[in-house]
Chain A
């Protein structure tokens, strides 16, 4: 259950740090609303609503990883690639809030921490990696797939690094074991990230081949086709 591991429960991180991250998250979500509204205007509510429903569906999709262990998508990089950073972050934020209030997953006092890691850090870092990778890689389906894969891996690891940072600031003083704990958390999330990356890459290329205009990261330009076949009548 990859995503459950990131929904922080009560008092893992102390009050002042939780409050600081809640304020930071609130400000950033506000910025996302303003930026998303600038692009979408009055289409924002229905489109963001449906996109959030899609992120939900993506997270519902459980796939067996090993005996008894099943993982599911976090969706930060996927949302960023398809919807752009602002709308993507907004959608994942709504998913995290719904999970806390309607499914008791993650504490209300840790909502700021959870939104910061899973919605803001993962989406923005994922988008950043994707944009840079697309500048370097060829704009073909394999180039896009590789970029989406890298973005997903980095975004999952960045989200877990967000937790490690919060724990370092306001968690138990674990002294010298902190390094070991951080390494264990980051290492696990590299593995989770690889799974996430495979699915994200597949989904993003599938959308790019069918409707390139819907992949925000491509900015409206379709993928380069392999040298067009001569049409013979």
Chain B
């Protein structure tokens, strides 16, 4: 995985072919619908997980990849595990521990919604190239200036990261033995040097852009392509289904 590619997995599935703006909207709608589902509707979350699993299969993303990537949320799982013992409410006994039922529901709520949120976001990042995400955001009227900064950042990030790695290697090659706190000084000085280099590179890039007639906006005539009504319906069918289930369970409860 390189930084410039994000988590993108090249492929040619129906999900890869969907326009990015459609997928971003679908992700947002899906996450909101999941968040709005009452925690007691356990079966609904099962249905959501099955829907996502189906989509992952359609996009040919292996389950092991999804599970490894899901670890990003692990610190919050600690909070989910702590809820049963922190929240006050009627208590139940679990072997040698006593936990409150309200807290158990709260922990479950956090666990399941965070996991579904991460999976949905992984589906987007696995099937959409970085440039596609930016184009989609631009179609969704995200301010151009932020998108341009982002594009530059992604374009040069792998370079700065490589610079940091290179400096570390150079240090190791000169018999530096970085350990725990003793590495902090060298690390920090290296970071300072990388900053100076990045800033100077930024100025050089700007100068060459100015020499080519740059006046503060990129001369892009070609806007990202619009999505057809069929694409919108296809992509929003799953979030709509989820929203319908969320509404149904909320009314029943």
**A40 CB, min distance to chain B CBs, angstroms:** 9
Do the beta carbons of A102 and B130 come within 8 Å of each other? yes
- For the complex, count residues of A whose C-beta is within 8 A of B: 76
Number of interface residues of B (CB under 8 A): 84
Q: Determine whether A44 belongs to the interface, using a CB cutoff of 8 Å to chain B.
A: yes
From residue 35 to 63 of chain A, which have CB atoms closer than 8 A to chain B? 37, 41-54, 56-58, 60-61, 63
Chain B at the A interface: mostly helix, strand, loop or mixed? helix
Residue of B nearest to A95 (CB): B153
B113 close to A10 (CB less than 8 A): yes
B28 touches A108 (CB 8 A): yes
Asked if B117 and A45 make an inter-chain contact with CB atoms under 8 angstroms apart, the answer reads: no
- Nearest B residue to A43, CB-CB: B206
Stretch at the interface among A121-129, A131-139, A199-207, A221-229: A199-207
Q: Kindly state the separation between the CA atoms of A80 and B90 in the bound complex, as whole angstroms.
A: 47
- Choose the segment among B9-17, B51-59, B76-84, B228-236 that binds chain A (4+ C-beta atoms closer than 8 Å): B76-84
In A147-179, the 8 Å CB interface with B consists of: 172-177
In residues 198-222 of chain B, which contact A (Cβ within 8 Å)? Answer: 198-199, 201-203, 205-206, 209-210, 214-216, 218
Q: Are A206 and B189 in contact (CB-based, < 8 A)?
A: yes
Question: Which of B87, B130, B151, B187 is within 8 Å of A49, CB to CB?
Answer: B151
Q: Could you mark each residue 93-123 of chain A with 1 if its beta carbon is under 8 Å from any beta carbon of chain B, else 0?
A: 1110110111111011100000000000000
Chain A interface residues toward B at CB < 8 A:
1, 4-5, 7-12, 15, 29-30, 33, 37, 41-54, 56-58, 60-61, 63-65, 78, 82, 90-91, 93-95, 97-98, 100-105, 107-109, 172-177, 180-181, 195, 198-207, 210-211, 214
Task: Give the top 7 A-B pairs by smallest Cβ distance, nearest first.
Answer: A49-B152, A202-B188, A206-B192, A10-B117, A50-B202, A9-B114, A102-B6
